[in-house]
Structure 1
């Protein structure tokens, strides 16, 4: 029994006495599945394929934010000029002549960047429901394939995000079937980290392509992400039990760890209990708050680098990408640490989710305020932005995977719901940023960063007060509810 934690030892003793058997006999009856190797396993191969799929999706998503710098006629904004006749921040000579294409003012640019998310907004809930009912493989693979294919067809790439919206709900629906509870954080954060990795790679690459080949080439070259779909449909299955190349040991481990194969989402959803669920609303509101600052930076950071700090296009693209490198690394680390805390029984699921949410939303808010007061110093601004986005990566093991904690059976549907609300900042944040920065003044951008910081801090507070990591009663099947009530009655008898 040396391998058992102290809480497990006490529980084992109570249960063995209750059942009238010795500890060793009870252990034999449990027949706990052994953990198969992680390297080259089907579940980790799935996570890596998802990682690259989301890298493609987010690479396609950030293209316009960088290309906008070249597509617009000097961004069609006259930089703020102070009373002495000079720019608020000095403008260096880059020796690079952008060819003007469109005369879009700052509010119009905000509307265009926000319009990227309109199609993304309306496909979340249907994507989550259909993924839970029919399986996530076709919807995640089809979403990435459709996004890349439509990007090839249109240089503006706006229509691609109608397909993009089904990808994250499909991911969560699949992990409800594939992720053992003690590996859940690291598997989901590994797959989701592809988003930050895609932004990190795409931003400087887009800048280089725009500089060398012109902005239309960006959308044509990134559309080659269609190749990913070939590997996805060949290598992936909806359930461990239907995977043709999974080992028997790994299949049994996953199914036994989860308890049983997750049932398909029924036609009728517990809509009213969902609407009245405080933990679900805590997740929704917190994700909206976190996404406000994330989408603000994702869509508007290259414009800030260009119009305020006056970096040239290649510097702009590289420095805009730097924060996402840190977020990518820290999100992976946070997943491993979160699982370790749960495995060692140092913290409950609720406490772990709240810890990583609080860290990933509140601390970045402090650095966003610092960005607003960094003035014309490019070094300070980039440093604070990098710190803010890097630390924000820890929220990947917090509120952003909470749906599978509170309702594994409806994980895909819930992610569709939370992402639908979470996409609203993607529409509004660029528009608000456009209006706050019409004159491209330091004061205008300070308002942008302070607003994002305040919203992010509010989300951290809400999840800390009202969030939960416990499976909600409305998310249990009827037989599971009976079993849960029986266990509770037995625990009362033991104590």
Structure 2
């Protein structure tokens, strides 16, 4: 039976098995991350806006006769958490995420990505299952601590995926493989919003059920991951010799079994790395603002019902997924056909993925209470962020396949800062949940996207950096050491000659 299973698995390229499983892994990670953004609208007691509110302050509640999808439809929960407290709850995840991002990347570089990613998803799943119990006993404080621990568990997941892809993806397939694996984020966002809305609406248990469903799915994925996926082609029991040889030939130039000490000085003084960090922070601000706070905008300002909220909030993420897949195939074709350099492809994808959302997000705020137009602007604008995947998402692998885990962790960790600040800023800037308050948030988002994409457009690079080669760095350090020693000897000899001359 095992031999039959092995023959069946060997017929499928194992790099694509790993890619699809990685996609499902990221899907689980993001469903567990995003479901709170929708669930919290049902956990918190609703406060009705003032009857004096005009169209510039708050949208009127749609009545049942005029619309079947927009209504207040829910009495809300029982927890008395103000906007500031909700902002702290939603941002607490990213404090933990920030702490473990770089250590997780270094662990993935050293020990491989399989167990680093698997354990991250498993721990998050267990914590997801515990969420209703913790909230019931400890309310906001317990939820903040638990979300922090979930962030700690997930900090290593994206670096681990990067390390795996560095070992499994030939350069000419890199954009496609990275995008397919990373698209699990968008699939998770779609499921985490659409499915959550229906689970909360139709489950007798209400909002706790979403945490049980996603936690259970995460544990099932972990069992499949242990069986099907491995850190490197050399140790995979199901891979064909032809695929193993092909991957070895395609990746050997820039990947080595022994990478040597991490070249921290070279990494931290590299202009392309800092351009990548800037691009990631801009993308993360826009993405996390939508990820964590768009459900609140749909609920508190546009007054959508919980099931409509889940469905409509998922639309931008569905478009991100489609745009990411299409732009990644186009990016690989442009590079392989010699139509555009790898550097220019990364720049065009990232800059376009910033400027289009920057325009449409602000436009959505001026649509005011026109729900159809607001949703259309959000969907089109945020959807264009999909081109970030063949842009900044794959760029760490371009710069350094050998240290891709560490580099991705640095970049991803900087993005986590945006994940901390965006929900917190929304909580501070929108205490009354009015249209004018949210317009300020959207203008800030636009300014950040424009500024960070400009930095990336000037200084980004798509080629392997010299410090990717451990031997080159070691020789460079040795030469520097020798030069310093020679200079010191020259100084001492000059001093000795001068002393003899004086005598």
Give the SS at the match of 2:403: helix
| Cross-structure match for 2:22 | 50
* 2:41 and 2:76 in contact (8 A); partners too: no
1:154 to 122, 131, 153: 131
Aligned residues: 444
- Contiguous gaps of at least 5 residues in structure 1: 1-37, 483-495
Superposed CA deviations along residues 318-344 of structure 1, whole A, max 9, x for unmatched, are 101111111111111111111111110
Tell me by how many angstroms 1:154 deviates. Answer: 2.2
Give the SS at the match of 1:117: helix
Give structure 1 regions of 4+ aligned residues with deviation exceeding 6 angstroms.
Answer: 83-87
Rounded Cα–Cα distance in structure 2 between residues aligned with 1:392 and 1:112: 26
| Cross-structure match for 1:138 | 115
Name the CA shift for 1:442/1:247 in 2 (closer, same or farther; >3 Å): same
| Cross-structure match for 2:179 | 189
* TM-score, with length taken from structure 2: 0.85
| Cross-structure match for 2:215 | 223
- Contiguous gaps of at least 5 residues in structure 2: 1-9, 64-70, 133-142, 476-503
Rounded Cα–Cα distance in structure 2 between residues aligned with 1:335 and 1:204: 26
Rounded Cα–Cα distance in structure 2 between residues aligned with 1:54 and 1:114: 19
**Aligned-residue CA RMSD (Å):** 2.1
Q: How does 1:461-472 map to 2 (within 5 A)?
A: 461-472=454-465
Rounded Cα–Cα distance in structure 2 between residues aligned with 1:258 and 1:40: 20
* 1:372 and 1:447 in contact (8 A); partners too: no
Rounded Cα–Cα distance in structure 2 between residues aligned with 1:51 and 1:367: 28
| Cross-structure match for 1:262 | 255
Q: Do residues 198 (structure 1) and 188 (structure 2) align?
A: yes
Tell me by how many angstroms 1:395 deviates. Answer: 1.0
2:98 to 105, 121, 125: 121
Rounded Cα–Cα distance in structure 2 between residues aligned with 1:95 and 1:458: 38
* 2:259 and 2:469 in contact (8 A); partners too: no
Q: Do residues 235 (structure 1) and 228 (structure 2) align?
A: yes
Superposed CA deviations along residues 354-413 of structure 1, whole A, max 9, x for unmatched, are 011111111111111111211111111100000012111011100121111111110000
Give the SS at the match of 2:324: helix
Superposed CA deviations along residues 33-91 of structure 1, whole A, max 9, x for unmatched, are xxxxx9821011110000011011100011110001100011x5x53554679973111
Q: Do residues 63 (structure 1) and 53 (structure 2) align?
A: no
* 2:283 and 2:449 in contact (8 A); partners too: yes
Q: How does 1:68-467 map to 2 (within 5 A)?
A: 68-74=40-46, 76=47, 78-79=48-49, 81-82=51-52, 88-93=58-63, 94=71, 96-155=73-132, 156=143, 158=147, 159-213=149-203, 214-224=206-216, 225-260=218-253, 262-264=255-257, 266=259, 268-467=261-460
* 2:56 and 2:435 in contact (8 A); partners too: no
Give the SS at the match of 1:305: helix
* TM-score, with length taken from structure 1: 0.86
* 2:320 and 2:385 in contact (8 A); partners too: yes
Give the SS at the match of 1:455: helix
Name the CA shift for 1:437/1:99 in 2 (closer, same or farther; >3 Å): closer
Rounded Cα–Cα distance in structure 1 between residues aligned with 2:107 and 2:195: 35
Rounded Cα–Cα distance in structure 2 between residues aligned with 1:210 and 1:281: 42
* 1:79 and 1:441 in contact (8 A); partners too: no
| Cross-structure match for 1:478 | 471
Name the CA shift for 1:39/1:72 in 2 (closer, same or farther; >3 Å): farther
Give the SS at the match of 2:378: helix
Tell me by how many angstroms 1:92 deviates. Answer: 2.3
* 2:74 and 2:306 in contact (8 A); partners too: no
Name the CA shift for 1:83/1:246 in 2 (closer, same or farther; >3 Å): closer
Rounded Cα–Cα distance in structure 2 between residues aligned with 1:184 and 1:82: 56
* 2:83 and 2:428 in contact (8 A); partners too: yes
